[in-house]
Chains A and B, each alone.
Chain A
Amino acid sequence: MEPAIDQNLKLSDLSFNILGIILEFLNYREICVLGATSKRLKLASEMDVIWSQSLDTGDSGKEKKRIFLSRGNITQNIFNGSYQTYLFEGHSKTITRITTKENFILSASADGSARVWDTTKMASRVLAGHSDAVISAKFCGEKIVTASTDKTVRIWTEDQEPKILRGHLQGISALQKIDEDRVITGSYDKTVKIWNVNKGKCVDSYNDHSTAVYKIFTEDNLFASCAHQDSKAYVRDMARGELVQVFGAKTQPQAQRWGPPQNEIRSLYLSAPLFFTGEINKIRIWDMRSPVQAGETQVTTPLKNMSIKEENTNGIFKMIYSQFSNLMLVGCMGLLGLFAFDMRSYKKSFYVPSHDYPILAFDSGERVLNNIAVTSGTTTNYRYELSVHDLSSPQEVCTKFVPGHKAVITSICVGEDIIVSGSKNGSLRGLCFRRNRDALRRANSGNSFRIRSAN
């Protein structure tokens, strides 16, 4: 028998091939812990093979590990309640839409302005000029695009005057970004228009709808649109400009002659080859490859129907698919919290009535923070709160934050490490969960910052 060899020697003598197999038997969190013990194990924990099953975006194992760790830090901060607050002062009316990009926050408001806030330089810029409410604002490459009910789209660059795009005959109701140089708008004049941001002109215009366009959803080369009081949704291919299909369930004869049809479409979600439409309390899933029967112009039989059986449901306003946990998250008027369908069984997964009054907004993060969902609601003593769901165990954990708004929260945006909420009286507040402890230590937890911009 050879003498017993020191274990230390053995562990570090193992080849990368073997270490890779050992690490494959552990989950991502344990891989990271083991990777922090020595240099050799750190290198082993960054191998591409180990992270190949991970859904995170990123080319190399190293990048995927970094995203995993920073997400862990942020969720840890969320549940420990260590965050900094930001107060963005300037808007005077309802916040309609918030978007984030890196450390910038873009808010659109009914007071006719959009504002950009820089959280690192503590600076802001006012994009004023619209004569009516700005309904949405988007980052589009280096530029910013705003759309308003004053019938115009404006493109803002670093220092020049905005370029005003006219073409819609009525106010704009929906704005979505297609890629770095195209945006799409829907309007009360029943048309959908595609604009080239760099050239500053209208590229395409479609008039499928017979009523005012309500919502638009884009994905890659496809866009879907639906209209007010209409039970049909149109999906078009932008590359070829042709209609892919019209989707809509058969309308039942109605008891009353007025009002919207029973299966009026309230929200859309596209994930090729599937297409989701949300109605008052029902989600229909359509297969975009399904053939049309002879003599018909639209597909009337959905692949699946999912209904919300809770009481007082009054229209699904937002649907987000979470790849992280394979759930379809639903924000529905009249419900007191987040509702989710399990996309394996097409059945209800959970419903957490976390607020005392119905929810008005909900959002789920995209890249780094894709494992949380945030809903806004009101308590019985009229405090306006946000509740955060961890999607890895959505039924149990539910942390609540009170950002300090004096009116109902109308929009939420989950950025990379910040949750921004805007309220009906124009106040805008952010909760910032630093990605690393170092930054949190430098600027202590609980600190609050104030960025003020001109009125």
Chain B
Amino acid sequence: MFYNFNKIEEVKIRLRSAEGHICEVEESAALMSSFIRSMIEGFNEVTEVSLPNINSVVIEKVIEYMRHYKDKDPPIIKKPIISSKMEENTSAWDAGFIDADWNMVVDLMTAADYLMMIPLRDLCCAKMACKFKGRSIDELRAEYHIENEFPSEMEENLEFQHPWRLE
């Protein structure tokens, strides 16, 4: 008791993932999420938050982001983005952090939207926008398995509507 008096440990928030796995994060870092903030401030001495729709891999990634921006503001990404490389649009750490495959980015974005972390959500959206930047219609359709939903006469209509269709 006496021994512990001088170094009060910071309260840890326990995040329960979809699989039931528990990840711990410091309270000051967790407050970055408006969702967790409202959970903690609404009820006294709540230290466990259940996140049934986020899996533990994504939670670990979110916690990594929370810890990095615990004491500083994340950089704001300018709209519209200038390049299809993330390094040229934002800081090197952010670009390295978001350098993941498509599914991971989508999961992270959904999680950030749920947790109401606007800077992380914008970072994910910018990463997705990078993947779309400078691509033609056919490339995009092939890459993201988008079926051609437009009927053929509509397709012709699109062709003249879109000046850059045939480039």
Contact = CB atoms under 8 A, between A and B. Distances in A.
B136 interface: yes
A255 interface: no
A5 interface: yes
A10 B106 contact: yes
A69 interface: yes
A349 to B, nearest CB: 22
Main secondary structure, interface of B, reads helix
Interface in B66-112: 77, 79-81, 102-103, 106, 109
A73 B160 contact: yes
Contacts, number: 101
A33 B125 contact: no
Interface string B126-167: 101110111111001100111101100000111111111100
Given A5-B103, A7-B144, A36-B137, A69 B163 contact: yes
B117 to A, nearest CB: 13
B16 interface: no
Given A26-B132, A32-B162, A38 B146 contact: yes
Contacts of B106: 10, 14
B149 A25 contact: no
Interface string A69-107: 100110110000000000000000000000000000000
B163 A21 contact: no
B55 interface: yes
Nearest to B113: A18
A30 interface: yes
Given A34-B132, A39-B150, A29 B164 contact: yes
A34 B103 contact: no
A110 B67 CA distance: 78
A444 to B, nearest CB: 14
A73 B134 CA distance: 18
A72 B146 CA distance: 25
Contact of A33 (B77, B81, B136): B136
A301 to B, nearest CB: 39
Contact of B129 (A1, A14, A25): A25
A296 interface: no
Interface in A2-41: 2, 4-8, 10-12, 14, 17-18, 21-27, 29-30, 32-34, 36-39
A438 B129 contact: no
B57 interface: yes
B144 to A, nearest CB: 5
A26 B81 contact: yes
Contact of B137 (A1, A27, A37): A37
Contacts of B159: 437
Contact of A69 (B130, B133, B161): B161
Contacts of A326: none
Nearest to B150: A39
A290 interface: no
A29 to B, nearest CB: 7
Greatest chain B CB density within 10 A among A4, A8, A10, A39 is at A10
Nearest to A11: B144
A379 interface: no
A12 B147 CA distance: 11
A57 B135 CA distance: 28
Contacts of B113: 17-18
A438 to B, nearest CB: 5
Greatest chain A CB density within 10 A among B129, B132, B156, B163 is at B163
A23 B113 CA distance: 16
B103 A10 contact: yes
Interface in A426-454: 436-438, 440-441
B166 to A, nearest CB: 9
Given A7-B145, A27-B80, A72-B163, A33 B137 contact: yes
B53 to A, nearest CB: 11
B125 A22 contact: yes
B162 A18 contact: no
A1 B57 CA distance: 8
A436 B57 CA distance: 50
Nearest to A27: B80
Given A8-B147, A25-B80, A37-B146, 10 more contacts: A6-B145, A8-B144, A14-B106, A33-B136, A33-B137, A37-B141, A76-B163, A436-B161, A438-B157, A438-B160
14 contacts: A2-B55, A7-B144, A8-B146, A10-B102, A18-B109, A21-B122, A24-B80, A26-B132, A36-B158, A36-B162, A37-B137, A37-B144, A436-B161, A438-B156
Nearest 9 pairs of A and B residues by beta carbon: A437-B160, A25-B129, A8-B145, A72-B163, A436-B160, A76-B163, A21-B125, A73-B163, A27-B80
